[in-house]
Each structure stands twice: as structure tokens, then as C-alpha cells.
Structure 1
Amino acid sequence: MNNQIIKNLQKHKEEVMYAWIEEMKNEKGEKFFQYMPEHLVEKTSREFTALMLSNIEEGEDVSDEQSMEFATKIVRFGWSISFINTAIDRFSKVVFKHLEREGVVNGENYSRFFELHLNWIEPLRRSIIQSYSLEWERTFNLQKIALQELSASLIPVFEKISVMPLVGTIDTERAKLIMENLLEGVVEQRAEVVLLDITGVPVVDTMVAHHLIQAADAVRLVGSKCLLVGIRPEIAQTIVTLGIDLTDFLTTSTLQKGMEKALRLTNREIKEVE
């Protein structure tokens, strides 16, 4: 029976693949198969079909290399674990219907097919999901590192004046990185005034304010002044409601106003040229 199934699926591989694509297109809330270019959908589907049939054709588990290679692609395309499970279930359903139509599976040998199915699909599912989890974790960590590096850089904008734009949520780990980059940058750039721009920080709570105050104190200890800029009305309201004391902070609502204040603190000003 195994040989029959293998030969039949090998012969009708394209038919099975296109039937599976149609199943996935009809899946509620599905985006990849509906909005991605046709050639990309077909290429990815061909790779998925080859992966799904690899262990049943060879009679052994799919290799880690195969599943990891496919996992790398689907992580990039935004497939979730739930979506992967759905894709595997739909593929299994399409294969069963096809073999039933072909007369390869019937009432007499259904129990044998069910046993074969369990030994084929479930190990394959575990292998793909394990590879996906490893690849997703690796990608997430790389993105996290890249975001931290991009959003905690001290940028010299004028002589003696530098800006650090902060983007995203500030947790303890990021606060540590901000502090390190801030102090190293101040010394290296010989900045007398530093602007911490929190325009891109969605929430300022007690913990975030504490980290910002620590950063300002550290800047003062190395002989520079620190301005907190980009305080939106909702952030100001939160700071007042929480009773956070920023009296030792020089603050402005925008980076532009902060830059004007920084220039005055370094005995300079902007003048229009006539």
C-alpha cells in the first residue's frame, strides 16, 4: 500500500499542490495566498509540497536542513505557528481526498492508511514547528539587537550639542544600553548639551521616568547638561498624574525648541540671513 501511495502522489504532485493552494486561499483571514504575487505563492507552495512528501517518499524523517531552510522562508513571509498547523492539516485533507478519489484508500485499508498517516504527518509537523521556533527566535533576537543599536545612538548635530532619539518601549535592558551609549558618546563627542528625544516613546511611566532621570544625572556627573525633548501633551499629563518629579530636568515639547535652548546654553543662536 505504501508503494501505491508514494507512486500515486509522485505522479499527481502538481494536482495535489494546486488543490492545497485553493484550500488555503479559502481559509478565513488568510493573507499570504491572497495578496502575495502568484509566482511567489507557487514557488513557496512547491517547496512546501516537496517538504511534505519528502519523508513519505523516502520512508524516513525529513532532514533538519530541509525543514530549517523552509522555516527561514516562512518566518520572513510572516507565517505563524497556527498558520503552519492549518497548512499541514489542509495538505493532509487534500491528500486523503485525492487518494480516496483514486481508489488507493478505501474502507478495507483505511486503518492501514491511518497508521501510515500518523507516522508521516505528525513527525513532520514536529520537525517543521521546531525548526520554525528556532528560526523565529533567532530572527527576533537579531531584530531586537538591531533596534537597540538604532534607537540608542548619540548623534552629534552641532559642535558641543548631541541628540539621542529614543524609539519604542524602554525596559531595564534597553535603559542600560541607553546609559552606556549616552556616557560613551558624551565623552567621545565632548558634548556640553545632550538632548534626549522621547517623541518615539509611546508610554512614559514611573519606571521609564526613573531611567531617564538616572541618565540625566549620569550626564551631569561627566560635566554636561541634559534636555528632555518631545514631551507630548498626553505624556505631560501622565507625568503629572504619576507625580514624577522632573524639576531638575530642562524640558521642551519639541526637538526644535530643544535645539534652540541648547544653542543658547552654548552661547549661540540661529539668525536669518538677509
Structure 2
Amino acid sequence: MIHTVNHVTHDGADTLSGELFSRLFSLAAPAALALMIAAPAIAQDLPPALRALQADGLEILGPLKAPAGIQAWAARAGSHPVALYAAPDGQHVIAGTLLDKDGNDLTREPLQAATAPSISSDLWKQLETATWLADGKPDAARIVYVFTDPNCPYCAKFWTDARPWVDAGRVQLRHVIVGMLTPTSPGKAAALLSAPDPAKALYDYEARQGAGVAAQMAAGRVRPVNDEALKPLDPIPADIQGKLLANMAVMQAWSLRATPAFVWRDDKGQIRQRTGMPPSEIESVLGARP
């Protein structure tokens, strides 16, 4: 089954608060950024400065743990967490990292705890509507999203290692195809997505890699997969290029930078993620071995 990502964009505003929100939206992590905002005093729970940001689209999630005497809130700009600390006058807030006298970060852990559930839930929805290729039964108890590059030998090894779970009907792998490892990766990824039956094309392709990749790993000479039977597309059709770019955007939103990378829900329903799959960790992702 193939699904296509739907894009949501933020239109830049020409107000002062809109410009500041746009800057916040671009942050990959909290940074020391002072937000000097003069706003009308509104008799509500949040200081006026936070009201201005909230009206412009910043999502305030709730209070953030902070030392006594400091008011703080956890917020998110898209998938990026933001910590906000209020000045006593309520007219100004500072977005960034709070340090104690010894230089210890007092923001990272509380902000992660306050924002991770909301951000992960939204990113999971992006995965559900991304362009992925299903491997396994649709009614499997566990769904695991795998960011897969066709030239990635470790992706091929994981595909082989996962066969017992997939064949037993316990796990459905959803391969989010990306092309990032070598110059031919985008073209080969496009060739898979352009096949008459993309899921079967991926299955057949990965099945061919097992013995060769295993031999390389045993010899300690791991190289990118070189399967000449899969011809890279050149040029890549615009619609397929759009899907590959969208898949990369989803991967980057999860802050995943290498393949294979995994996102799944554990037995308690908590969303987890990791990069790479050493044999000792496979059951933590796929569940008990069949």
C-alpha cells in the first residue's frame, strides 16, 4: 500500500509577533532568544506576551517546571519544543535554556517531558500518511515504520532479520523509502516507488541482498548495496521526486539522520524511535521472538 504525504505550510505574518514566531518555528532546539513584545494587558491566565505568541500560532502546552519565583511554560513551534520564561512585568518573555549557577541545564529534561507526547503524536500521524511500502499483514499487532535507503546494507540486514516476525503475522513493517546514502540512492528509491507493485518490488529487491550482505558483514567489509538489477531512474519523475522529498522531510522532523531508522509503539503504546538495529535490540522493537 502506498500513501502520500500531505503538506501543511505556515504563512508568514507581517506583524512583529508573526516575525518572531517564524524565527521560533525555524529552531531545531531551544536557543537563547529574547522576545521583546509589547501587548495589551489582557486579564487572562497567560501574560500578554504569551498571548501574542499564542494568537500568532505558537502552541502553549502548559506550565514548565522551573525554580521558585520563575514562571515558565512549555510550548511547541511545529515539531520543535520551546521553553518560555516570563519577565515580572508580563510584557516580555524569553525563549531559551535556563542554566543554574553551575551551568547545569534546567530546561532540557522538563521541556522534553512536557512536549514529547504532543509532538510525537502529531509526527506519528505524519508517518501514517507518508509514502510507505507495507511488508506484512495489515492486522499485525505491531506496526514499525522503517526509513529505508535501497543502497543501505544495514537496511537489507534488518529486512532479513525481521522475517520471523513478519512471516508470523506479528509485525507489519512500513518502509518509508528515502534516497540519501549514495548518488544512486534517489534514482533507485524512485525506481522502487515507480514499479507496478512497489511493495513487491521492494520485497524482491531486499530478498536478493541477504546472502551478499551477510557475507560482507562476516568479512568486515560492509559496502553500499550494488544491485545492478535495479536501474536508477534518471530523470526522476516530478511526482516521485515529491514523494521522496516529503519522506525526507518526515525523517528530518523525527531528527533521524541515518538508515535504517525506526519509529514504533511499544507494548504500552508509547512512541519510540531509534537509529540502527544491533541484533541485541531487535526484540525491543519487534517484540518477543516468534
TM over 0.5: no
Q: Which has the higher strand share?
A: 2
TM-score of the superposed pair, with normalisation by structure 2 = 0.29
TM-score of the superposed pair, with normalisation by structure 1 = 0.30
Q: Which has the higher helix share?
A: 1
Rg larger in 1 or in 2? 1
